[in-house]
A and B are shown apart, each in its own frame.
Chain A
């Protein structure tokens, strides 16, 4: 089973690589283009539908600094495919190099249990959970901006900050089940 390892390759100078994993392949292209436009040091984006990545271009693939799972809450399949892809990541990635991006969280037709399950998944893996809006250009730009902030830390381009340090601040938490009036 081929795991994607975070430190198996050398880094490039002034480069950062982001892997966008999305089952529907709609949002990742727009997001990738916007990320590249916003920042000049980001050279390469890798797009994938699901992990594991194909073996053919294993040699030419650069080191991946950040893996982003894009989950569309309107379909159950999106979440399940992201869950199964998680198995193909080396545990070294979960120290701040994995991020979950969720779209259409405000949609009324989405059952809230799906967002709850994504949150519990993100909280159990200590990863940040971002909500994005993929229908408008401002939404895509905002999402790209936020991902770029995390990417720069993950690639080591920000002095005095490491991805593990950042993840302790940004990771998703699920509030425990306390009754409001019950202050024992």
Chain B
């Protein structure tokens, strides 16, 4: 078995604690199944319908508190319904999304890194008035830029904003259609006839949102909980403040916690037979002094075999349960421990990436392949709905 281990020299003299980067590439993983089979826990059948949790029969303790999964200090459950964290998901199917969505618009969404935030429901947002929204937003941005700042000649010759609808991403009737926003402006040294370039883009979407929640919203509100942005932070702040003023909503950062990163890793690994993921890279941060980052790259075939051995329920069943996901990650961690005596569960998972996409803990996502967009967006929509304070 070939191992490449590179460590960077740690500078003792500097007073700033540097980070040690340890990159380990495994080309082959041997004798992995046996260790994995010992650790396998029994999985019970989890309900396929992940929107409803098991209902207990009449309990004598009638309390107004919502169910345990959603009452946490970082998540507040909605006043209208209690949201539950799903314990199982449908296996992603490769679908040719170009059948539903215009391929040009799909090209706008993939292969770019997006920063995620959540949005509370928008009041009186009409999909029919997108043109007037474009005009209002461009006027707002021009006025904000001119207000109080030193005049920069040439750069802001005026912003042109484009609101457009991306039809076809919404999965159920209750999902609102995705709205795509682009901000174009002329560059400083462009020739007269040059088309303005896109300086900022963003989109609001809701894919397969929780049906109980969406049904319980009053009629004037449109829920598009996931907001993805790409571009300078100053423009993002302006767009958010415009939305907050017009539609009375709130924005907030959406972090992807380690459980959701593990879901993404397993879902992408599960796609390996249909489309080669080329590598599975996981990055952990360990709380040592100085903090150590571990990059763990796994050969795709080995990752897939490990994942397949975790799916001991017959693979004709569609749903993947959280136990299989945690078992998969535990298998990877125990293999690492056997070789390096470093227990990765003492740290936190920061980033995962495959050829199909990558995702970072701070809320960045990049989808490289258009085939699995609905599954990824559904997961992210759930995160956004859970994170929202209402």
List B303-345 residues whose CB lies under 8 Å from chain A. Answer: 322, 343, 345
Among A80, A110, A177, max chain B CB count under 10 A is at A177
Q: How many A-B residue pairs have CB under 8 A?
A: 82
Q: Is the CB of B67 within 8 A of A179?
A: yes
**Chain A residues, CB < 8 A from B54:** 177
Pick the residue among B61, B64, B69, B345 that contacts A180 (CB under 8 A): B64
Q: Is the CB of A110 within 8 A of B67?
A: no
When C-beta atoms are compared, the residue in chain B nearest to A105 turns out to be B73
Which of B74-82, B135-143, B147-155 has 4 or more CB atoms under 8 Å from chain A? Answer: B74-82
Q: Tell yes or no: A95 within 8 A of B by CB.
A: no
Interface string of A11-52 (1 = CB under 8 A from B): 000000000000010000000000000000000000000000
Q: Tell yes or no: A126 within 8 A of B by CB.
A: no
Q: Tell yes or no: A108 within 8 A of B by CB.
A: yes
**Chain A residues, CB < 8 A from B346:** 24, 75-78
List B70-110 residues whose CB lies under 8 Å from chain A. Answer: 71-75, 81-82, 85
Query: How many angstroms between the C-alpha atoms of A177 and B257 in the bound complex?
Result: 24
**Chain A residues, CB < 8 A from B58:** 184
Pick the residue among A78, A110, A116, A176 that contacts B69 (CB under 8 A): A116
Q: Is the CB of B74 within 8 A of A107?
A: yes
Known contacts A116-B68, A176-B56, A180-B82; A74 and B348 CB within 8 A of each other: yes
Known contacts A177-B53, A177-B56; A115 and B348 CB within 8 A of each other: no
**Chain A residues, CB < 8 A from B61:** 175-176, 178
Pick the residue among B72, B82, B322, B361 that contacts A115 (CB under 8 A): B72
Query: How many angstroms between the C-alpha atoms of A88 and B259 in the bound complex?
Result: 30
Pick the residue among B67, B72, B81, B259 that contacts A175 (CB under 8 A): B67
**Chain B residues, CB < 8 A from A77:** 343, 345-346
Main DSSP-derived SS at the B contact region: loop
Q: Tell yes or no: B59 within 8 A of A by CB.
A: yes
When C-beta atoms are compared, the residue in chain B nearest to A80 turns out to be B345
Pick the residue among B56, B59, B67, B85 that contacts A113 (CB under 8 A): B85
Q: Tell yes or no: A106 within 8 A of B by CB.
A: yes
When C-beta atoms are compared, the residue in chain A nearest to B343 turns out to be A77
Q: Tell yes or no: B287 within 8 A of A by CB.
A: yes
**Chain B residues, CB < 8 A from A119:** 68
Main DSSP-derived SS at the A contact region: loop
Q: Is the CB of B255 within 8 A of A109?
A: yes
**Chain A residues, CB < 8 A from B258:** 109, 111
Nearest CB on A from B128, distance (A): 33
Query: How many angstroms between the C-alpha atoms of A68 and B65 in the bound complex?
Result: 28
Query: How many angstroms between the C-alpha atoms of A80 and B333 in the bound complex?
Result: 14
Q: Is the CB of A175 within 8 A of B348?
A: no
Query: How many angstroms between the C-alpha atoms of A113 and B70 in the bound complex?
Result: 9
Q: Tell yes or no: A112 within 8 A of B by CB.
A: yes
Q: Is the CB of B257 within 8 A of A111?
A: yes
List B182-218 residues whose CB lies under 8 Å from chain A. Answer: none
Among B63, B66, B82, B257, max chain A CB count under 10 A is at B257
Query: How many angstroms between the C-alpha atoms of A179 and B64 in the bound complex?
Result: 9
Query: How many angstroms between the C-alpha atoms of A110 and B71 in the bound complex?
Result: 14
Q: Is the CB of A75 within 8 A of B75?
A: no
List B21-71 residues whose CB lies under 8 Å from chain A. Answer: 53-56, 58-59, 61-69, 71
Q: Is the CB of B74 within 8 A of A110?
A: yes
When C-beta atoms are compared, the residue in chain A nearest to B386 turns out to be A112
B residues adjacent to A (C-beta < 8 A) = 53-56, 58-59, 61-69, 71-75, 81-82, 85, 255, 257-260, 287, 322, 343, 345-348, 361
A and B contact pairs by CB, cutoff 8 A, 9 listed: A108-B74, A108-B257, A109-B257, A115-B72, A116-B69, A175-B68, A177-B67, A179-B82, A184-B58
Excluding A78-B346, A112-B72, 20 further A-B contacts by CB distance (< 8 Å) are: A24-B287, A75-B345, A75-B346, A77-B345, A110-B257, A111-B257, A112-B257, A116-B69, A119-B68, A174-B68, A175-B63, A175-B65, A176-B56, A177-B67, A178-B56, A178-B59, A178-B62, A178-B63, A180-B82, A182-B55
Question: Nearest 3 pairs between A and B by C-beta?
Answer: A111-B259, A76-B345, A112-B72
A residues adjacent to B (C-beta < 8 A) = 24, 74-78, 80, 105-113, 115-116, 119, 174-184
